């Protein structure tokens, strides 16, 4: 079985390497205002996201409510509850920071493109995948800051939920709404140039990743992490993924889901969006010094979820 390496994962690795070699262009002393560039990029990214959303698809997708409820409950309840169980075990400041990074993963919405692509390969319920992946991003704008607000007060001295929501509304929600309103006029054009818009989306994410890690490398944040720590983080990420994946499978079986609905539930319910993660981290963790460490488990999770689901999707495709 031939497994293709995701080009975006390779691009992330290259970006990390560049941020290590040339941190001066992303650090606090940088002559480039990467924060402003990233903010403009975020607004455009979500404008195009709204432009590509079809109101008709959202309406038609409401029928299969059990499947949607399972996917969204897995994304915004099951993930956080699993990670919350380990909070009492975190005794030091460093372990609490790493735990917070895992809780950040748990609170994020599902990803759109890879979920739909993998469901399509595995011959799952594609319309339901499109609906859940799309609606998850909108729900996450409200839910993710609420989950993180429970623990960020202690990590960020100036944490203010009203300020967070204002930035999310102006940079994320408002562009999505404008895009939705213009869908009937520009939706076909957005679909025609979707590949270019996807490249733009990924470029914005890479810019935020470079900025985040350049600052972290410049300030020596990663000195607290050893190779053993990195290996443990990767193992915990894989364990979290499979715990959710198997739980969704058991629930779907109990609810007598059809095979294609079970595929969609497991594929969409286990995904976490690197796009939303990098964007939300820029807004939520602006006062947290170890933002690079916060994003590290998410990027490992992103690579693992694509790799594992690719193998499973190819297996289902052959069957």
User: Could you read off the pLDDT of 209-239 as tens digits, one per residue?
Assistant: 888 778 777 777 667 677 888 889 999 999 9
Residue 95 lies in a domain: yes
- pLDDT greater than 70 at residue 106: yes
Find the CATH number of the domain harbouring 188.
Answer: 1.20.1530.20
Rounded-to-integer distance, Cα 29 and Cα 217, Å = 13
Q: What is the pLDDT of residues 275-314, one digit of tens each?
A: 888 888 878 887 665 677 888 899 889 888 888 887 888 7
Confidence of residue 191 (pLDDT cuts 50, 70, 90): confident
Q: Specify the range with the lowest mean pLDDT, choosing from 77-86, 207-216, 266-275.
A: 207-216
Q: What is the mean pLDDT of residues 81-86?
A: 96
Our measurement of the distance from residue 225's CA atom to the centroid of its chain's CA atoms, rounded to an integer in Å, reads 23
What is the structure's pLDDT at 131? 81
Range of the domain at 108: 7-20+34-318
| Residue at token pair 């005794």 | 91
**pLDDT exceeding 70 applies to what percent of the chain?**
88
Confidence of residue 86 (pLDDT cuts 50, 70, 90): very high
Residue 305 lies in a domain: yes
Q: Angle between the 126-152 and 274-284 helix axes, to the nearest 10 degrees?
A: 20
What is the structure's pLDDT at 186? 92
CA angle 262, 81, 122 (to 5 degrees): 20
Residue 27 lies in a domain: no
Residue 107 lies in a domain: yes
- pLDDT greater than 70 at residue 247: yes
Task: Decide: residue 299, CB within 10 A, 0-12 exposed, 13-18 middle, 19+ buried.
Answer: buried
- pLDDT greater than 90 at residue 104: yes
Residue 25 lies in a domain: no
Residue 284: which residues within 8 A CB-CB, separation 6 or more? 104, 144, 145, 148, 152, 164
Local structure of 69: helix, strand or coil: helix
Residue 236 lies in a domain: yes
Q: In the structure encoding, which two tokens stand for residue 88, read together?
A: 């009492």
What is the structure's pLDDT at 125? 83
Highest mean pLDDT among 66-80, 85-99, 270-284: 66-80
Q: What is the mean pLDDT of residues 111-128?
A: 77
What is the structure's pLDDT at 60? 63
- pLDDT greater than 50 at residue 157: no
What is the structure's pLDDT at 37? 87
Residue 88 lies in a domain: yes
Number of C-beta neighbours around residue 21 at 10 A:
10
Residue 166 or residue 190, greater confidence: 190
The dihedral formed by the CA atoms of 252, 253, 256 and 259, expressed in degrees to the nearest 10: 80
Check if the beta carbon of residue 131 is closer than 8 Å to that of residue 57. yes
Rounded-to-integer distance, Cα 154 and Cα 9, Å = 32
Query: How many domains does one find in the chain?
Result: 1
What is the structure's pLDDT at 72? 95
What is the structure's pLDDT at 24? 83
Residue 26 lies in a domain: no
Rounded-to-integer distance, Cα 128 and Cα 71, Å = 10
Q: What is the mean pLDDT of residues 71-81?
A: 97
The overall average pLDDT reported for the chain is 83
Confidence of residue 4 (pLDDT cuts 50, 70, 90): low
């Amino acid at each position: 079985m031939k497994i293709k390496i995701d080009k975006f994962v390779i691009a992330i690795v290259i970006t990390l390497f560049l941020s290590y070699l040339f941190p001066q262009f992303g650090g606090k002393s940088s002559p480039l205002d990467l924060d402003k560039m990233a903010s403009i990029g975020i607004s455009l990214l979500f404008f195009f996201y709204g432009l590509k959303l079809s109101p008709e698809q959202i309406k038609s997708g409401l029928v299969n409510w059990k499947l949607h409820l399972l996917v969204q409950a897995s994304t915004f309840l099951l993930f956080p509850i699993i990670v919350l169980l380990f909070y009492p075990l975190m005794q030091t400041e460093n372990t609490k920071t790493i735990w917070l990074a895992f809780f950040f993963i748990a609170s994020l919405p599902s990803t759109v493109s890879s979920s739909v692509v993998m469901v399509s390969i595995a011959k799952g319920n594609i319309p339901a995948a499109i609906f859940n992946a799309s609606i998850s991003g909108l729900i996450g704008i409200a839910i993710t800051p609420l989950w993180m607000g429970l623990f960020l007060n202690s990590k960020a001295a100036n944490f203010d939920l009203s300020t967070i929501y204002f930035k999310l509304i102006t940079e994320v929600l408002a562009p999505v709404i404008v895009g939705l309103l213009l869908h009937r006029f520009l939706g076909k054009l957005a679909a025609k140039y979707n590949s270019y818009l996807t490249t733009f989306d990924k470029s914005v994410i890479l810019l935020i990743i470079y900025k985040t890690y350049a600052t972290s490398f410049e300030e020596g944040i990663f000195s607290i992490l050893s190779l053993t720590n990195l290996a443990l983080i990767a193992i915990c990420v894989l364990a979290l993924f499979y715990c959710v994946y198997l739980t969704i499978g058991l629930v779907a079986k109990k609810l007598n889901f059809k095979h294609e609905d079970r595929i969609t539930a497991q594929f969409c319910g286990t995904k976490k969006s690197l796009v939303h993660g990098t964007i939300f981290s820029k807004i939520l963790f602006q006062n947290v010094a170890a933002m690079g460490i916060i994003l590290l488990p998410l990027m490992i999770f992103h690579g693992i979820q694509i790799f594992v689901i690719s193998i499973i999707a190819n297996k289902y495709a052959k069957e």
